[in-house]
Structure 1
């Protein structure tokens, strides 16, 4: 099992780096070459969403991306630090879990795009923030189809 953790400041220019790292780790984990574009796009969308949430809520904590390979599955978790409804963080007002009050439509669109790219996706939140979990099957390394 291999795990790579990437943290970056909530700046749009760092999303490209996250996409490149995700594609490289996915390739090394054995994700089919035909699926790598979907991995790149899904990670880009999830990271862009997290960056937008951080910036919209004035959160300076980094966006966290965890990439892991275990049990014939490559998974990615993109986490934000936006508090759930009814709480505040660093003087920021409350809203829906992980969603700015005025950007619900944009957030729904991001989640729809991701769900169209990923068969296995889960969206969750905790007191520490929100997370999007995505996974893809892998082939054993060195085995050709």
Structure 2
């Protein structure tokens, strides 16, 4: 089981790099070529969400992306450090924050449409979006 961990500052321009790394690791893990665009889009959406949360809360901590090759699956976790940033962190807030919450929910809806197996969790340390796709190990070299 191989794992790649990526940390990047909460800047929108780093999301593209995370998408490229995720696609490369997914390909190596045996994720079907037809699904790689979905992997890229889902990772981009999850990372953009984390970047937005960090920026809106004034956090300088990096966004964390963990890519794991498992026996028959490839999984990605995108973590932020915003306490309680799970499915709906805002409640009864100002108009700007309510709009941000709507964008957050839309981002989660987009991800759930791209990924069959998705889990969103949050704690006082921050939130995590965990996504996984089926993978077949590449055939042995001859």
Calculate the TM-score normalised by the size of structure 2: 0.88
Kindly indicate which of the two structures has a greater share of residues assigned to helix. Answer: 2
Query: Across the two proteins, how many residue pairs are aligned to each other?
Result: 132
Q: Distance in 2 between matches of 1:108 and 1:68?
A: 26
Residue by residue over 1:27-66, the C-alpha shift from the partner in whole angstroms, topping out at 9 and shown as x without a partner, is: 0000000000000000000000000000000010000000
Q: CA deviation at 1:3?
A: 0.1
1:140 corresponds to 2:137: yes
Partner of 1:91 in structure 2? none
Q: Distance in 2 between matches of 1:84 and 1:139?
A: 35
Q: CA deviation at 1:71?
A: 2.1
What RMSD, in angstroms, separates the aligned Cα atoms of the two structures?
1.6
Q: Which runs of 5+ in 1 are unaligned?
A: 86-94
Partner of 2:62 in structure 1? 62
Q: Distance in 2 between matches of 1:122 and 1:96?
A: 19
Q: Which runs of 5+ in 2 are unaligned?
A: none
Which aligned runs of 4 or more in structure 1 are off by greater than 3 angstroms?
none
Q: CA deviation at 1:7?
A: 0.1
Partner of 1:48 in structure 2? 48
Partner of 1:88 in structure 2? none
Q: CA deviation at 1:83?
A: 1.0
Q: CA deviation at 1:127?
A: 1.6
Q: CA deviation at 1:101?
A: 3.7
